[in-house]
Structure 1
């Protein structure tokens, strides 16, 4: 069954391959495993809870669904970098650095 992913691509401003990745239909094979970050990033959800983000797929899911302050330079840069990493066009370390900057700006990076 072919799924129309154009709404995802339009909302996220991403290419079709990243949209397929979100739905578990990524055709890139091993790209997913190579995106695992060397050390997960921990985000504060509240004073007693945190979330661990281990790759660009986790990062973009958190950015789009649970980020406290959508918008701004760091948020946009992290979104673009993580989507680029999912597409295989951006190095995963670059995506991780962008995500860390956005988390710091949002005040949710766990020390």
Structure 2
């Protein structure tokens, strides 16, 4: 199994549900999905937690930041972007 496949399987203990714009609620299951959302689907490209979440998600995939810490930062970034209900 290569490193990329191993990285894809890193999941949070509990998913985070966000709403992009006026769309449906979407489920983010781990740092890989979170990083994809932050890079390609995030409605705002600024904010303290947005930048921190970008950095921490990438670092978590390299096993440099604890999984639960990254999840918490992603939740704070979601609140900052008004994406949580």
What band does the TM-score fall into relative to the shorter chain? Answer: 0.7 to 0.9
Superposition RMSD in Å: 1.8
Q: Deviations over 1:32-67 (max 9, x none)?
A: 43x211111000124451110000000000000000
Computing the radius of gyration over CA atoms, which structure comes out larger, 1 or 2?
1
Q: Deviations over 1:57-98 (max 9, x none)?
A: 000000000000012211000011111111110111111001
State TM-score, norm by structure 2. Answer: 0.87
Kept in 1, the 8 Å contact 2:7–2:32? The answer is no
Q: Give the gaps of 5 or more residues in structure 1.
A: 1-25
1:102 aligns with 2:65: no
Q: Give the gaps of 5 or more residues in structure 2.
A: none
Aligned length: 84
State TM-score, norm by structure 1. Answer: 0.68
In structure 1, the partner of 2:3 is 27
In structure 2, the partner of 1:73 is 48
C-alpha distance in structure 1 between counterparts of 2:63 and 2:41, whole Å = 24
1:83 aligns with 2:58: yes
Flag the structure with higher strand content. Answer: 1
